Structure 1
Amino acid sequence: MLRTSTLIAAGLALASGVSAVVPVWGQCGGIGFGGETVCDSGLVCTKLNDYYSQCLQGTAPPASTTAAPGSSVPPTPPSSTSTAVGGSTTLAPGYSFIRAVVDPNFHKYLRSEIAWTASEAVLGEPSEAAQFQVTNGQLVQNANGTPLYAVVEPRADSTVMKLKVSWSATPATSGAFVFSGDTLEWSNPSITRPQNNAWLVCPDADGNRDLYVNLGPYSYMTPAGCADQTIHAYTGSTATA
């Protein structure tokens, strides 16, 4: 009799339909979403925009906004970024991490030298990775809810073969960024370059990996102390080493 009761209870449990839970980084809501909405233990269904909510570590969902698709101006970045296990920010919809993929800067990620401020563009550790969009030729960093724009210094004369990249609160007035596949390129009608995807990473006196546009040939006549580099979009949930 005990065995029969157990089987009946198990059958009732199966019939009631136990809902699955959404794992970390899984979608749990948004306009038109029809899937599971309950996050796994320790996770919160966090709204990133009207169309996408994601299960993240935390205790309260942060507010965020993004511009409508097709907007002619750079979208407003989320007002905050969520931190995932391991320290890196969780990638917001519509954004990309940008990283190097060869030594000596393998999987070093683009950011501001002083995090989320208008400072020099550098490559750093995955836990320090910023998030980006390319919109209307502007490379836009989500600086914790404030847009920062990549600007390339002017070329003083034809002997200058590398141009430093930095972040500004105002859009760049010359040159244009674009993703070709996942590779970041920069071009300027007044400057002829062998390769628009050629970059240099040159450590400064403090050991920061400063980013430069390489105006010379890739992997030839590389300036002393610098490394030739291409940098690529990465759209994993978090920045990885």
Structure 2
Amino acid sequence: MSLRLRDPGRNNGVAPEFTVDPKLLDAVSPSGDRGGIVVGSGLNGEPLTISALRAMPTRIVLVGGLYLARQVALRAMAVGAWVVIATGRPAAWQVLPQAAGTGPNGRPSPLAQIRRLSPVELPRPSEDAPLLVVTDGGPTPQDLFPPRSPWQTTVYVLPYLHPQATTIANAADIVLMQRLPVGQAELAARIWRLPPQMMRQLTTLKDDQVVALGANLWRPLRLVTTAKEQQLLGPVRRGD
């Protein structure tokens, strides 16, 4: 099973349409395929989208800083997903509830929920309300919320690659990697059996560049950001 990186200029089929407040969509996300998340642009500036919210359990691994992880979570929320963040650093994720705002009753919107790194009951995902669970548990996270049902996607945020995270890394449908130091790139090459040229490319990525890796997929791309995202997250960067 693999995730496709989708070019909106091509006929990739029709993904489901999710209902979300248009103001939220305009505020935090550039437009993209229905049901997809825009992760960056290609060499010609075309938006590239991953079908991260779909009718099957999905795993995504992010290797890099919090900036990338929070941007992916914001964009999932903008296309109608519930987002649950399990983290040991809740202050770093307050931008999600801030972006979600409040409901008609004046209480915080339930679209974004921050939880501890311990098992909790999750919202039940559906086609109309997909679920993105972010596990921000360090380089060797526990698999607390493996995706078990359609319309649930679990994102594992790895600040760096660790040999003990090999099982989680290998189980991913897609991996988004930012620049790695040489030792980390060598480990990535062993985990995913990358040739030397790809391994070297991982060490030379710019701060705004990411490689999307999956089955039969190696796609360098450039992160793009909206004005509202810059207000929430600051400029595009490699670190947190």
Higher share in strand: 1
Q: Greater relative contact order (Cα 8 A, min sep 6): structure 1 or 2? A: 2
Q: Normalising by the residue count of structure 1, what TM-score does the alignment of the two structures yield?
A: 0.26
| Structure with a larger share of its residues in helix | 2
Q: Over alpha carbons, which structure has the higher Rg?
A: 1
